[in-house]
Chains A and B, each alone.
Chain A
Amino acid sequence: RKEVEQDPGPFNVPEGATVAFNCTYSNSASQSFFWYRQDCRKEPKLLMSVYSSGNEDGRFTAQLNRASQYISLLIRDSKLTDSATYHCVVLDNAGNMLTFGGGTRLMVKP
């Protein structure tokens, strides 16, 4: 079983749509969780951290469910520029290593 699992997509949505990505992780001792965004042929960049209480950054909302070992990302009012691959990322409990999920590809169409 992979440590971090995501639906690879692609998710094809129209502009203005709301889209949700889910992720599960296997190590219950993991401490920190993130969503990274990666544009085509570019390096991944931090989109947002994920907290148990849920956190929001503009159109983006992230949620963590420790009991179910489940992480989500909600994007509201999708823009063309949101088209990218979104990686669910978990930091090991020693704080040394980021483990990436396989990424979920989002394509927002006019």
Chain B
Amino acid sequence: NAGVTQTPKFRVLKTGQSMTLLCAQDMNHEYMYWYRQDPGMGLRLIHYSVGEGTTAKGEVPDGYNVSRLKKQNFLLGLESAAPSQTSVYFCASNTGTEIYGYTFGSGTRLTVV
């Protein structure tokens, strides 16, 4: 049981490049989330999804797009990376009915130069 898997674990991008971060969960969870964490700060919600085919904006959505074409996958896209998007990105999932069952992935460390 892998839980929540994020790929890649590390990436360096040049300003203006695009990339997609993949989050995959094998727990049949309805809800999935993308957070970013900057040094010395808490996690801030970028986008989330409450089911296959749905997405919604979180606290800091600008510069990111997401897609949830399959229930088990939640993709986070950066169309034109900026240095301000240098951060650690965490994906999480939840059943949607159980408030305690949030499972986080191990994170993706992204540096934009």
Contact = CB atoms under 8 A, between A and B. Distances in A.
Interface string A24-62: 000000001010000001111110010000000000000
Contacts of B44: 100
Nearest to A103: B42
Given A91-B99, A96-B31, A97-B58, A43 B45 contact: no
Nearest to A48: B100
A103 B44 CA distance: 12
B50 A96 contact: yes
B74 interface: no
A4 B48 contact: no
A87 B50 contact: no
Contacts, number: 51
Interface residues of B, number: 24
Interface string A71-101: 0000000000000000100010001111111
Most central of B45, B48, B106 by chain A CB within 10 Å: B45
Contacts of A42: 106-107
Contacts of B107: 41-43
A42 B59 CA distance: 22
Most central of B43, B48, B105 by chain A CB within 10 Å: B43
A46 B100 contact: yes
Contacts of B2: none
A45 B50 contact: no
- Closest A-B pairs by Cβ, 4 of them: A100-B42, A43-B104, A100-B43, A102-B42
30 contacts: A4-B42, A6-B42, A8-B40, A32-B99, A34-B100, A41-B107, A42-B106, A42-B107, A43-B104, A43-B106, A43-B107, A44-B43, A45-B104, A46-B100, A46-B102, A87-B42, A95-B99, A96-B31, A96-B56, A97-B33, A97-B58, A98-B33, A98-B43, A98-B92, A99-B45, A99-B59, A100-B42, A102-B40, A102-B42, A103-B40
